[in-house]
Amino acid sequence: MVSFIQGFLLSLSLCADIGIVNLAIIRAGIARGFWPAFAIGFGSCFGDVIYIVLVLLGFAFVLQFTIVQTALWIGGTLTLLWLAWKMAREAWRPRSKAVGDETQMRSSMSANLKMKDVFLGVGLAVLSPSAVLWYAAVAVPIVAGLQLSTSSIFGSSTMLFIAGFFSAGLIWSSCLAWMSSRSGQRVGALFLRWMSIISALLFLCFAIHVFRSGL
């Protein structure tokens, strides 16, 4: 149980970062409702688990390889530029039923939980510059100091740690998706347009930062 709590608390320290994943969840919740926002958060949990498993297995050193850094640099920059363009397009030509469509808000999970949103969440978690930095600077030394049976990824303490890590991300994403979707039912189209503009600028700033850091 101790390992579960350790993983849970470690994941919360990652979730608290106002990065591209949280921003994407909030934007999706306001514009499209709970399930699309939850799908992005759900996918991001799997992206986070990929990294934490690499850390647990002692493979964090792969982040130091030039080819991996280049892939993250190019992939992260292109993804952030695409998100910035998408938000800018949404601000310029917003969908007429983006907010306040009660029928859409009450749609079934199967209709709204689309795999493209899940995959988007995975990609954002893997390519997030702040997340990569967090794993390298925070997760590696903390995990090294924990009493985990890392000799086998299927050890009981390690599995409990991963379960706690995943659970915290899922709970955080669910709460963020719920709060943003509730806000989306109350805000107007003008607010949504400004949210899109702010999101586009933030994604553009992230893209510039990632691109410059890779030069």
What tens digit of pLDDT does each residue of 121-160 get?
998 888 776 677 677 767 776 776 666 654 555 577 888 9
Does residue 106 have a pLDDT over 60? no
Q: How far apart are CA 156 and CA 105, in angstroms?
A: 40
Of the listed ranges 12-26, 28-42, 45-59, 149-163, the least confidently predicted one is: 149-163
Q: Which of 150-154, 171-175, 206-210 tops mean pLDDT?
A: 171-175
Does residue 118 have a pLDDT over 90? yes
Q: Specify the pLDDT at position 166.
A: 96
- 7 conformational bin, left if phi > 0, alpha if psi -120 to 50, beta if neither: alpha
Q: What angle do CA 166, 34, 161 make, to 5 degrees?
A: 5
Q: Specify the pLDDT at position 145.
A: 66
Q: Specify the pLDDT at position 98.
A: 44
Does residue 172 have a pLDDT over 80? yes
In contact, 168 and 115? CB cutoff 8 Å? no
**Residue ranges in 33-139 assigned as alpha helix (H):** 34-56, 66-92, 102-105, 109-112, 115-127, 129-134
Q: What is the pTM of this model?
A: 0.72
Does residue 26 have a pLDDT over 50? yes
Structural domain span for residue 183? 2-213
Kindly give the interhelix angle for 66-92 and 189-213, rounded to the nearest 10 degrees.
160
Q: Specify the pLDDT at position 44.
A: 94
Cβ neighbours of residue 210 under 8 Å, at least 6 residues apart? 73, 76, 77, 80, 129
Domain count, the chain: 1
Does residue 209 have a pLDDT over 90? no
Type of residue numbered 60: A
Does residue 93 have a pLDDT over 90? no
Side-chain half-sphere exposure of 191, counting CA atoms within 13 A:
12
Higher pLDDT: 48 or 190? It is 48
Of the listed ranges 33-37, 46-50, 151-155, the least confidently predicted one is: 151-155
